[in-house]
Every structure is written in C-alpha cells, then in structure tokens.
Structure 1
Amino acid sequence: MQQWQRQKKASPKSQLKVTFLGEAGVDTGALRKEFLTEMLSEIERKLFVCNGDGKGKNPVYCLNSLDQKYFRIAGEIMSVSLAHGGPPPSFLREWCFQYLCSGDADHLQVCTSDVLDMEMSLLIAKVNDATEDSITDLTDEIINCGYTGVVSLEKKDRIVRAIVLHYTMRVLPMLDQLRKGLQLYDLLVLMEKYPDICLPLFVPVHSDDRVNSTFIMENCKTLFSEKGSVRRRQECG
C-alpha cells in the first residue's frame, strides 16, 4: 500500500508494469496478474473481516487505515485489477456492494448476520437471551450503541436494530473512501449503472460462471450522441 502511494507521480491509469526484485524477466502480463493477486489478497486479509459463513467480508473498523487512505488505495487497486486482467475483488458482503453502488445508506438491507464485530455480535446475543431482569444490566452497552429508548424486553427488536445500525454506520467512512478509489477508470459509473452484472465481481458467488471484465464490457451498451454531430465524432475519435 505504501509503495503504491509512492508511485502516485505516475497516473494509476498508466499501463501497469511489474518487476519483482531479484527476479529477471519482462512483464508480458503474468507478473502483473501475480502482483495484483497478491495485492488483493493482502487487502482482503488486512482491511476486511469475516465470520466464516462464506457470504463475504466487511471493512475493518480502523481509523489509522482510514487516515492513511488505505481504503482509497484499495479501491484503486481493485479498479486496476479489473481493468488489467487481474482477479476480481469478490470478497465483499452484499450490503457493502449495495452501498458502493449507490452511496445511499437509507436503503441498506443489513441484518444481524452482517454484524461481524465480535463485541457487538456478543451484545446482540446477550440482548436476545436476556430476561426482564438481566436486560437492564446491558443498559450502558446498549446506550453506547446510540439507542435512546426504554431498555426492556418489549423493545428488544428495536434495541437489536440499533446495534446493527451502529455497527453499520461506523464502517461507512471506510466504504466511502473505497468508493473514491473505485472512481478510477469510471468503474463506479459501471457499478451504478449495471449493479446486477457487477455484483459477482465483488460478492462471493457459488457458481462456476465467474464474471470478468470482458463479460462486463460485452454487456454494457454504449450510448453515443446523434450521428453527424461534433460530439459523436469526439466520442468515436
């Protein structure tokens, strides 16, 4: 990630050429794919977290990574990998992909299984298992999640929902920064316009039919300006 930052004098849109230190050879594509594969693997390992259910990962809540703009770099690397024939970053949870496409938090569909923070998952379990007497013992933890209503068994569903939203809202800045990186090559525009086609590139799918960049380009219809216009000549030039 730091090496990528140091190379910012060259545009990320330039042709990616890779040379491994101590290894001879000209990059004809294989080294580039190897590099991008390793980079995405490290991004997945260090910046995202899962619970082992195979349904994808959420961003790690890490303000240091946010401050260092690592999530923006991650988005740029994802864009470069897709544009240069590397592997897709197909390790995100579906709600994360939905947010990346829209940038709209109002219509996110997030449930308790999407909460991958150990502490908050444990709090949800405690609330669900609580009795009328024991739920009051969780008051401080519940209030710290932004819930301001009455703490009682009758409000259990609202309490759990508040915990889920608290977890979701605090990782949105990481996804916002990731969106900025995905603007490279106008990838974000394609995601917003063709979410169903792009989804398998970012979310784990249990199928042999993997979507790649070639499939996307073949299924994206280009809308040109009127024939004979100056704008049409510019678009085709």
Structure 2
Amino acid sequence: MQGSGTSGHDGGSLARSDGNPGTSGPDEDYSSYLTLTAALPDGSSDDEELNQAIIASMESQIAVKVPVQEILLELSSKISTKQQCKFNINRSAVWEGAVRGFQRVSYNPNFMICVKFSDDMGRNEEGIDLGGPRREFLRLLMETIARSPMFEGKENSKNLALDSAALREDRYYIVGKAIAVSLVHGGPPPNFLSPTVFSLLVDGSAKPVLADIADMELLEKVKKVAESTTLEDLEMTKAPLLDYLANAGCLRPMRSIRDKDLLVHDIVMFQVIHRVQGPFQRFCEGLKTLGVLEKIRRHPDSFRPLFCYEPSTLTADQVDDVFSIWLSPEGSNKRAAEERVVTFWRDYLHDAEEEEGPSKLQKILSFATGASVVPPIGFSPTPSVQFIQKEDDDFSCTPMFPLANTCINCIKLPLHVSYQEFKEKFDFALGNSYGFGRA
C-alpha cells in the first residue's frame, strides 16, 4: 500500500543471527569457564598459581559487558520465519487485541508475529505485516503498558502496583511476556521501570527509597514519621498510620527515636515490594518467555538501559546515520536532482531538531519504520532513503508528498526544487498520515 503519508508491505524480515556454528554465543564463554575450572588439577603451588591466573583471565573476560544487540540476536535466531501468529489490532484498543493474541491456543512466541490493523470504522487496512506493522504494534503496546494501572510512580521510574483485577486475570504475566516478545521480535524496550524493580529482577534484592511510594497521601504521612525528632513526635506522626501498620505487620511499640528509621524502612519495603509479591512473581514468569529473564540475570549491565530510563536525546545526525541513501549512477541527470534533495532531507532533520526537538525526529523515524526509537535488536532491513522519479511505473506524475514503506524501512522523497515546498509537504505528510507510518 503506497500513497501520501502511508506505507506499503512488500518486504522485510526479522533480524536473525548468521547461525554460524563456529561462532560462540555470549554465554558459551561462561560455560567454558565452568568446565575449565572444574577440570583444573590439584597439585603443586606452581600449578595452583597457574590455575589462579587462568581463572582470573576467564573471569575478566566474563566481566566484559556483552552488547545487548548481540544477546537479542542470539535469542531471535530461534524464531521461525515460516510460521506465524496473527494479531488483529485496533489502535484504540491495543491492549485488548494483544491479550487476545497472546492467549490464543495457537500462539507460540517462537513464531513470527503477523499484525493486521483496523481503522476506527472496522475496515481492514490494506497489506500484510512484513515488519512495519509489527514494530508499530509493539511500540503502541509498550506505551499502553507504561500507562496501565499495573504500574505506579513517576513517569520514567515506575514500580509494580497492586491491581486485584489484573492479578485475577493474570495480566502481570501477559505484561512480562509482552516485554520479552518486544525485545526479541524487534520492538522497543520498556525503559520505564524503576531501578528497584530491575534490581529485584536481577537477583531478588533491592533497596527501595521513600520516593518509591507512589501513594502521595501515604508518602506525606511517612515523611512526617521520618522527620520526627523526639519520641513524642514519633508517636504523634505514627498515630494516623495505625491501621496501615497493623495490616502491613509493622505495628510495634516505639521505645526510642532511633526506632523511626527501622519503621520507615519496613513501611517502604511493604508498600513497594512485599505488597506486590504476587504480581511480581507472575511478571517474572512472563519475562521468562524466549529466555529473556535468564539473559537479564546473566547480563544485567547490558539490559539495565533497556528497562531503566536513561536520558538519550535523539539528534538529527543520529537519524541521518540510521538511513542509507540510494542514489542513481553518478553523472546522470537523476543523480543531480537526488543530491539536491538529500540536502533538503538533512536540513529538514536539523530544522525538526531545532524547532521541536527529539519528539519530531521520533515522528519522522516512526513514519519511515513504524518505530519511534531504534530497536535494541536493530533494524532489518537497514532503513533507506530513496527517490520518486517521474517515469516510475507506479506514478503517472511525480507525487508531491513523501512515501513510506515501513515493511522495508524505506522512505521515498519527491524531487522538489524548493526546500520550502519540500518542508511543507513533509510536514503535511507527518501530520496527516494514517496507518503504519502514523506517528
């Protein structure tokens, strides 16, 4: 499907590793280390020194941070490109459509995801998912999950919330599965979880702080307890919390002002961690899908930026670097026109950065690929900039607007002779596109 501000579906596939049997995966070094250390002989002091040197060398290699893209490509290599699981999605009800797809009897996370969107009138959009619709679906799904009542707290640092309906319907498990699937199937990372939740995922230990309490009324009461300076103050500030403390198992006599620190610690631990143990366990079970949780625990430094928010400003140069530019042969009339439009394209990216910042650059990236950020697993195929020629078979005249095909991550630019016209038509396409290129 091609047209102004829309996308076609004539190519694209999930990124896969090369499958070379001679190439070790990121965890094979760890297995080799265990085998080697188990086989080391007991002997003389010289042998012992040699053994220790070998072990130290192996440990230093294991400590090296493995690129997360390498890990995810290894996991994605097990996905079958010949078998599909279908998701029928309406953009106004992304979560509901995702749940139906994940709970379908035939669903298998090792099969390719095939997404078909419908518009608000219920008509099927043209085309079949070969990459772009899947990326857009996973992007919308991660955004929906971040806003769901299953999480609470600051926008970019959320903890699990206790939602009895979600627990009853096993939504926490589906959320964990959805995040694992998004990472391995070329979608975006969640990157909205708090460091506390990530630490719990890695090794089960965490040190939540007072600011992790999302309930503002409770937070203010606990702050007053923490600010108490005398035993009398402590008793007064504790009084409004008596029912809560009884339910949390924290109610006990205060014999010294020093007892307040332990009381605050117990309240924070209960509110942020112990209270949501059930949801957390189901969330972890979902994250085990495709082996993702195991990799998180083996390579926490590699995965931390995907789960915990880190400011990263998308720039015009970064977007430009994502795309390869396909030009006609050097010396041709086409080449001269295309090179002029390349300058328009790059000026447009820089103007977008200066006028609206990263948000507009994300719209441009989404328009061309269906993803507003570069997926942790990378793009496949590599995004490209191509050009619309007058003699192209599909067009009786040169279109005025850019065209996007998110399945092959391609944006086609019209050969305008004026930058102002190029900018106006591109702005119109971004603001009025519908379908797979819509931001």
Give the TM-score normalised by structure 1: 0.80
Partner of 2:222: 124
Partner of 1:187: 292
1:134 to 226, 233, 236: 236
What is the root-mean-square deviation in Å for CA atoms of aligned residues? 2.3
- Is the CA contact 1:61–1:171 (under 8 Å) kept in the aligned structure 2? yes
Partner of 1:9: 106
**Letter of the 2:265 counterpart:** R
Partner of 1:145: 248
**Letter of the 2:187 counterpart:** G
> Taking every aligned residue pair, what percent have the same amino acid on both sides?
27
> Any residues of structure 2 matched to 1:37-56 within 5 Å, and which?
37-46=139-148, 47-52=150-155, 54=156, 56=157
> Any residues of structure 2 matched to 1:1-237 within 5 Å, and which?
1=96, 2-21=99-118, 22=123, 23-46=125-148, 47-52=150-155, 54=156, 56-102=157-203, 104=204, 107-130=205-228, 131-132=233-234, 134-135=236-237, 137-138=239-240, 139-151=242-254, 153-167=257-271, 168-208=273-313, 212-213=376-377
**Letter of the 1:156 counterpart:** K
Could you say what secondary structure the match of 2:211 adopts? helix
**Letter of the 2:215 counterpart:** D
**Could you report, residue by residue, the CA deviation over 1:5-53 in whole angstroms, capped at 9, with x for unpaired residues?**
442422122100000122111212110011111111111111211235x
**Could you report, residue by residue, the CA deviation over 1:136-165 in whole angstroms, capped at 9, with x for unpaired residues?**
523343333321432364421111111101
Q: Which has the higher strand share?
A: 2
- Is the CA contact 2:225–2:238 (under 8 Å) kept in the aligned structure 1? no
**Letter of the 1:15 counterpart:** M
Following superposition, which runs of at least 4 residues in structure 1 exceed 4 angstroms of deviation?
A: 208-211
Give the gaps of 5 or more residues in structure 2: 1-95, 315-373, 379-439
Inter-partner Cα distance in structure 2 for 1:176 and 1:213: 26
Give the TM-score normalised by structure 2: 0.45
Task: From the superposition, tell whether residues 136 and 76 of structure 1 become closer, same or farther in structure 2 (CA, over 3 Å).
Answer: closer
- Is the CA contact 1:49–1:60 (under 8 Å) kept in the aligned structure 2? yes
Inter-partner Cα distance in structure 2 for 1:100 and 1:132: 35
Return 143-152 or 73-82, whichever deviates more. Answer: 143-152
Task: From the superposition, tell whether residues 120 and 35 of structure 1 become closer, same or farther in structure 2 (CA, over 3 Å).
Answer: same
**Letter of the 2:261 counterpart:** D
**Could you report, residue by residue, the CA deviation over 1:83-130 in whole angstroms, capped at 9, with x for unpaired residues?**
11111111100110111122x2xx312111112223431331231345
**Letter of the 2:151 counterpart:** F
Q: Which has the higher helix share?
A: 1
- Is the CA contact 1:57–1:93 (under 8 Å) kept in the aligned structure 2? yes
